[in-house]
Amino acid sequence: MTQGPAPRPLSDDALSELLGAQRFGTLATVKRSGHPHLTTMLYSWDPEARIARFSTTADRVKVAHLRREPRAALHVQGGDVWSFAVAEGEAEVSQITTAPGDAVGRELLGMIPQDARPADERGFLEQLVAERRVVLRLKVDRLYGTALDING
């Protein structure tokens, strides 16, 4: 078998760019047993603050995991199976949005790209309250990942 090129580590800027280019990733939290709990999640990336934000409901198991053990990681796939970024850090869980347009509801709304914002913003904010939505904020202190340069 012929040895091909090895994956190369990505720079911090390239990793941040990959996180910003994707919308879905796998969030890893820590179960009480110490095993990972993996969930595919929609997220938004704030490169300046180095925070990945996720919307979820207060009753999800990942919320309980993060309240007990805040260490978490986000894995994001690149354009091929050898390209990826991982963002590690500590996560915090916001308060539950309790009134349409409160700070948490506005943060959740702000996670939606401008061109995908709901036409009925008030209705959307009311739905967030009814669903007992929270924001998970992964404060990233370590990025790593690779890419594989293949021609052809």
Query: Confidence class of residue 151 from pLDDT cuts 50, 70 and 90?
Result: low
Q: What is the pLDDT of residue 7?
A: 86
What is the Cα–Cα distance from 30 to 69, expressed in whole angstroms? 7
Residue appearing with tokens 């949005």: 97
Q: What is the pLDDT of residue 92?
A: 98
Q: What is the pLDDT of residue 80?
A: 85
Task: Provide the token pair at 10.
Answer: 């990505």
Q: What is the pLDDT of residue 129?
A: 98
pLDDT for residue 60 is more than 80: yes
CA distances from 65 to 25, 54, 71, 146 (A): 18, 15, 9, 28
Dihedral angle over CA of 127, 69, 25, 151, nearest 10: 170
Q: What is the pLDDT of residue 152?
A: 47
Q: Residue 3 corresponds to which amino acid?
A: Q
Q: Report, as an integer, the average pLDDT of 9-13.
A: 96
Q: Report, as an integer, the average pLDDT of 60-71.
A: 98
Q: Report, as an integer, the average pLDDT of 30-57.
A: 98
